[in-house]
Structure 1
């Protein structure tokens, strides 16, 4: 998710546990082969075994419509150690769609097939190529054709955001429609969209028939969501943090202080306060205390002021 789930939040959220793999923010590919330096700006984990601090693999995600150029950049990422390549056919942003990228490509299944095939041919067979799609652009009439095209091109897994581009992020998500996609292909299908709670995840799995869930805004708003989901299903993997189950605001405090430390170390000063506000904005969906914290620091801009506020505004480790 561009501008939200960057390497800072990937680091922090995977410390909680329950996450099997991460997909990077999309890397917009136009008509050039990007330098390693440019690719590392979006996926700095490539310099450290393509894993977060907690050891979770990070797959670079590419967005674009030029099959040849996407393939060249995918090959470079493979050389840099990417464990897999993900292709974005789901972004609903107008600026992306206007240039023929993201969800706009769902209007032509043959183009989807050609892009995936080009990328698949460009990277070693040992590196999976996966794809994320929505149910469609204006409607879902081509959903099954698009999924079949992705499979035909060589996608090893398909993530389906259970809404069309036209539906954006407005609830509900149509998880039952993902079941139709799952039945149309032989590769694994992952359900995504409007999963904010354990109950949402259970409903998404039940209605889609999928056994894998992708979390986006939901895990930002509720950092222990992946662990809570697995705990509800009876499986909790190891973690460098705490056992399964939801976290209180107090328990979340150390995570937020770690977030601030990483942000002040790796982000430009003009970005730092905004990133805290951005995270608090989503956290207040689940934590009432986050609303108070957001109100207290919403006017702060200087990192030094945020630093002072963090000492009293966020529970100390």
Structure 2
């Protein structure tokens, strides 16, 4: 979810959704302890008790392959107020994998264990450490080995995206492949992948045996999807007018460059247009606009119609 679920998006989504917690974009750790301003850039919620304005806890997510540096940065994050440390072994991006980060490490279960254990041993016992993985890198040869490696290293729970890196984000997600993991582990296993609506959520729970779900792109596409799942409702609960209010809130977020704000908004509107006809109509109106003020005027006009 890098470049998508940034602090502004987390603020908007948690103001309307029903989330137990959310996770930062991954913070890349290489060969140094990152300064405070980097943490506050990725997770300004650290200045608010580790929670969004709506009160939703925000877990700090790391990606890297150096156990000492991951441990040192985990200590730093906790000192700054991180309530949970999450570790990324699921990112399929080629650039990340090329530098031995994310899902490529799933071919090395012993390294996965070492990294999780280093962080678990470093942070106070009351701070949970969690991890996210895929079913594997190019294949599923080490699925259970990686899951056990994470559990044995002391993780409090494991989230599994139900595809390999090679399978990317191409449907379907193989929810049934999560069931052996759920049955093999004592810690909680959270299912992830291709959960777009209430029906998907229920089917995923049935096939995977997992009670808990992690929602990614669907939360951006359909901001009230978590409420629909909790209330077992197939139709959206939020009105388009309420969504317009959320879009105004999003645009009032702070970005250094106006073009970044415009681009981020268009990205979100484009995703919502897959679900809301009104979003598609608005997208057609703003897709060529480059000035933030013009987009704001379009939204104000839409709010009054």
Q: TM-score with structure 1 length normalisation?
A: 0.93
Give the aligned partner of residue 306 of structure 1.
295
Q: CA deviation at 1:308?
A: 2.0
SS at match of 2:24: strand
Give the aligned partner of residue 289 of structure 1.
278
Q: CA deviation at 1:249?
A: 1.8
Give the aligned partner of residue 236 of structure 1.
none
Q: CA deviation at 1:89?
A: 0.2
Give the aligned partner of residue 185 of structure 2.
185
Matches within 5 A, 1:179-258: 179-232=179-232, 246-258=237-249
CA contact (8 A) 1:103 1:165 kept: yes
CA contact (8 A) 2:255 2:261 kept: no
CA distance in 2, matches of 1:316, 1:78: 45
Q: CA deviation at 1:248?
A: 2.8
SS at match of 1:88: strand
SS at match of 2:26: strand
User: Does 2:250 match 1:259?
Assistant: yes
CA contact (8 A) 1:92 1:165 kept: yes
SS at match of 2:25: strand
CA distance in 2, matches of 1:258, 1:54: 13
CA distance in 2, matches of 1:267, 1:225: 30
CA distance in 2, matches of 1:54, 1:309: 27
The number of residue pairs the alignment matches comes to 304
CA distance in 2, matches of 1:195, 1:267: 33
C-alpha RMSD of matched pairs (Å): 1.4
Give the aligned partner of residue 24 of structure 1.
24
CA contact (8 A) 1:253 1:316 kept: no
Deviations 1:14-59 (A, max 9, x none): 0113100001000011111100111110011001111001000000
Q: TM-score with structure 2 length normalisation?
A: 0.97
User: Does 2:276 match 1:315?
Assistant: no
CA distance in 1, matches of 2:65, 2:225: 34
CA contact (8 A) 2:17 2:225 kept: no
CA contact (8 A) 2:244 2:299 kept: no
**Measured at CA, do residues 284 and 33 of structure 1 come closer, stay the same or move farther in structure 2, by a change above 3 Å?**
same
CA distance in 2, matches of 1:80, 1:257: 30
SS at match of 2:126: coil
Matches within 5 A, 1:1-317: 1-232=1-232, 246-262=237-253, 265-312=254-301, 314-315=302-303
Q: CA deviation at 1:245?
A: 5.5
Unaligned runs of 5+ in 1: 234-243
Identify which range, 200-209 or 253-262, moves more after superposition: 253-262
CA distance in 1, matches of 2:198, 2:276: 16
Q: Which runs of 4+ in 1 moved over 6 A?
A: none
Q: CA deviation at 1:315?
A: 2.7
Identify which range, 289-298 or 112-121, moves more after superposition: 289-298
Q: CA deviation at 1:267?
A: 4.5
